[in-house]
Amino acid sequence: MASNGTYNAYDMARAQFDSIADVIDLDEGARAFLRTPMREYHFTIPVRMDDGTVQVFAGFRVQHNDARGPCKGGIRFHPQETIDTVRALSMWMTWKCAVVDIPLGGGKGGVICDPHNLSMREQEAICRGFIRQLARNIGPVADVPAPDVMTSPQHMLWMMDEYEKIHGGHFPGAITGKPVGMGGSLGRTQATGYGVIYTLREALKELSIRPSDTIASVQGFGNVAQYAIELYHQIGGTTISVSCWDQKEQCANVFRKKDGIDLAELRGITDRFGGIDQAKARDLGYEVLPGDAWIDQDVDILIPSALENSITAENVEKMSKRVKIIAEGANGPTTPEADKAIHARGIHMIPDFLANAGGVTCSYFEQVQSNMNYFWEMDEVLGKLDVKMTAAYVAVSELAGKQSIYMRDAAYVVSINRVAEACRARGWI
């Protein structure tokens, strides 16, 4: 929390880091170095709008740490974007890359804008302007951007094209999350959501629970949530509720069907931003509930897959006593205060930077394929992803068991030790 009582993602990311630094007795030099980004870029992007006026958009790129390899992280287009959110997300990306043991560091970017209110031409201008401001500071061996909230493969392709124009060659490994056929990887669309379920599957095995005996509630209905639900249903689970943002009403809603949602029919009435048509959902037999109702459903599994700060000290007590597992599809959905309550209840937590690391892992696979100009088939990509996610989950779970510590703490211990060791080995600290 920030000093004025408002939520601040960067304060939360640093608080999480500080608590683990105490646990592993990290030296002062390493603490000071790792709790602050190595580099930040703040810039403006002037765009001539469709009506002839010029609007100036604020952009950021933060490179938290590149000791283990080039920085890696998405670019978000969001009207409430802040530099502190980008700082926090870049830090979480460092730990995420380290926990799945891929040779990349943490970065993140953002532009303060609302794509809902921008034409595609205006969005293209923002993408190209973003790259013009950063062309000397990103690239295949320095910092590799990717899509994030409200950005898409099309945005990444515009960015790659601008980067290649500036540098005068083909550099498909400069940006990931591109369309398949233009340097993108098969499986990238599914990767983050599927990765959540690969770790959930391992947790269920560990707890001796059959997936077919479980029911889940999911916050969000964007890419991550949809593919998590898809694979969760394939392994036998049932989802009874999902939430999504209603652009017209400017509020979130929960869509519930007590005998289980039909993913295909909901996808059929969903817009490109993951918004579900209320009237059509009611016609299909769904109840429409307030947006925070996803957390108090009578389920075994909660999968928060929307934005940060979703499980807080104020709503954590609303969770059903039946909840056994939380798998964090979103970045930073649980505040430290809520974490304490979840830990006290003995709920099995699969923390965000482990659970949702499938996206960056597949982005790494895309980068490898782009750089060698040879692309794998879907089964090979998803097979490699399953191996990476399973190995990461097992390493964290074994440490948590050996040291009798919370899963989030164990994941941080693994990650921070790996990054600190890389910094020491390079002679930086």
Show which residues are catalytic.
108
Question: Distance between CA 35 and CA 13 in Å, rounded?
Answer: 9
Neighbours of 402 (CB within 10 A): 9
* Of 108, 97, 87, nearest in space to 37 by CA: 87
Provide φ and ψ at 93, rounded to 5°. Answer: -65, -35
CA 283 vs CA 69, 174, 222, 280, 387: distances in Å = 51, 46, 22, 5, 42
Residue 57, C-beta contacts closer than 8 angstroms, at least 6 positions apart: 44, 45, 46, 47, 111, 112, 113, 126, 129
Please give the Cα distance from 118 to 197 (Å, whole number): 34
Which residue is associated with the tokens 């790792």?
Answer: 34
- Distance between CA atoms of residues 97 and 364, nearest Å: 9
**Separation between Cα atoms, residue 90 and residue 71, nearest integer Å:** 9
The one-character DSSP state at 407 is H
Residue 247 near residue 254 (C-beta atoms within 8 A): no
Nearest C-alpha neighbor of 252 from the set 292, 218, 296? 292
How far is the C-alpha of 108 from the C-alpha of 62, rounded, in Å? 5
